[in-house]
Structure 1
Amino acid sequence: KLNPFLARFKERSDLNQYWYSKPTIQFMVDLCESHGQRIAFLSTPSIYFSLKNKELKENSVCFDIDEAFSKRVKPECYFKYDFNCPDDIPEALRGTFDMVVIDPPYITREVWQKYTDAVHLLLKRDENGELMGKILASTIQENREFMGELLAVKPLTFRPSIPNLVYQYNFYSNFEDERQDQ
């Protein structure tokens, strides 16, 4: 049976959209539903729209440039997100998330720096001003070093499948979960 998101939304090459496979989406949904209470989904609509936990979905926000997604959710659950402008993220959303899930349309360090800026705006902070929250990200293996530098994340054993993309991606996270080693 096809994932409802995959059945409903076609990839848009003009936006560099490439959807994960159904098993990869399920892997990410399971991690999100186990570790997040309020999640910022940055350029990861396939994961947001595949959440089964209704409360988590209503507490989370889909950040994406493609306004087609805004028509499928309550206004407070979608933000038109241009990764080039992280400072456009509204004050009301800043520091309110305990997890971010990220899959940029481009894989350069410059793009990842802009996503890192967004992460720093979105994640909650502790009493010392340090970021606290979980990060789950997707990019190529060659980005491993700077992913550690920018977001303090490490590669997972689980390898995502993105059927219409020629590159092999890896997942990276800053938290532990037994499923990560599958």
Structure 2
Amino acid sequence: MVESDDDVPQLRADSLAALKEFYQEKVERECKFKKLLEQSEKDFEVEFEENWQLSQFWYDEKTVETMTKGIVKCTENHARIGLISCPTLYKALIKIAGNRQVKIFEFDERFSVFGSDFILYDYKNPLNVPDDLHESFDLVVCDPPFLSEECLTNVASTIKLLTKKNVILCSGSVMQDLAEKLLALKKCNFQPHHKNNLANEFWCYSNFDLDKYLD
């Protein structure tokens, strides 16, 4: 049986226009990211949209401000700070970091615009990080992409490999027991919040008194 053109579903004109606009905006964003990468800029104003397929949920502005200021207060001026799967902290932190060195470990290659501070990271290969970064960070801050035992267990292996001492973990309340078991982390009073409210309650955990550094 041969189908006629009349049998093929057709998009409405307004739907077609919306689809065209979506792809045009996508191309423009990709061009902007490419240009930024070529210029190797750090202090730029560009918005990264959440990719829900990668379980990305950005913090709200208050959380970013509170956490980045706290990170600076709890580290020395020449400290090394590693951010694992929490790229929204990077832009705000790098602006106030002073002489602190900041690295971002991230699976999403859009963040390669951060230049040499970007380290490609896949939690499924937790030990696949550069040898020269082992036990080199005074503070590691992590927000695992998934609320699962597998994900946190793997990420904990990475944290142990990278940190000299201090750890901050942002994750769901359901991960409390596992966070304590794997990394000896305790729940903080501070609670991180997201731009898009999540159904899961999120907590902050650390192996030091983080709350005293947070406003």
**TM-score over 0.5 for the pair:** yes
Please report how far the alpha carbon of residue 5 of structure 1 lies from its aligned counterpart in structure 2 after TM superposition.
8.9
**Equivalenced residues, count:** 167
Please report how far the alpha carbon of residue 15 of structure 1 lies from its aligned counterpart in structure 2 after TM superposition.
0.9
Q: Give the distance between the partners of 1:61 and 1:22, measured in 2 at CA.
A: 21
Aligned residue number for residue 212 of structure 2:
178
Residue segments in structure 1 that go unaligned for 5+ positions in a row = 125-132
Please report how far the alpha carbon of residue 14 of structure 1 lies from its aligned counterpart in structure 2 after TM superposition.
1.4
Aligned residue number for residue 107 of structure 1:
147
Q: Percent identity?
A: 30
Structure 2 residue corresponding to 1:92, chosen from 101, 114, 132: 132
Task: Output the amino acid matched with 1:45.
Answer: P
Task: Output the amino acid matched with 1:79.
Answer: I
Please report how far the alpha carbon of residue 6 of structure 1 lies from its aligned counterpart in structure 2 after TM superposition.
9.3
Q: Give the distance between the partners of 1:23 and 1:6, measured in 2 at CA.
A: 18
Please show how residues 54-65 of structure 1 align to structure 2 within 5 Å. 54-56=97-99, 59-65=101-107
Any conservation in 1 of the 2:73–2:213 contact (CA below 8 Å)? no
Please show how residues 11-160 of structure 1 align to structure 2 within 5 Å. 11-36=50-75, 37-51=79-93, 52-56=95-99, 59-71=101-113, 73-75=114-116, 77-124=117-164, 133-160=165-192
Distance 1:8 1:82, change over 3 A: same
Structure number, greater radius of gyration: 2
SS in 2 for 1:82: coil
Distance 1:148 1:13, change over 3 A: same
Residue segments in structure 2 that go unaligned for 5+ positions in a row = 1-42
Aligned residue number for residue 17 of structure 2:
none
Q: Give the distance between the partners of 1:12 and 1:99, measured in 2 at CA.
A: 26
Task: Output the amino acid matched with 2:63.
Answer: T
Please report how far the alpha carbon of residue 67 of structure 1 lies from its aligned counterpart in structure 2 after TM superposition.
0.9
Q: Give the distance between the partners of 1:95 and 1:10, measured in 2 at CA.
A: 32
Distance 1:85 1:35, change over 3 A: same
Any conservation in 1 of the 2:50–2:58 contact (CA below 8 Å)? yes
Query: Superposition RMSD on alpha carbons, in Å?
Result: 2.0
SS in 1 for 2:137: coil
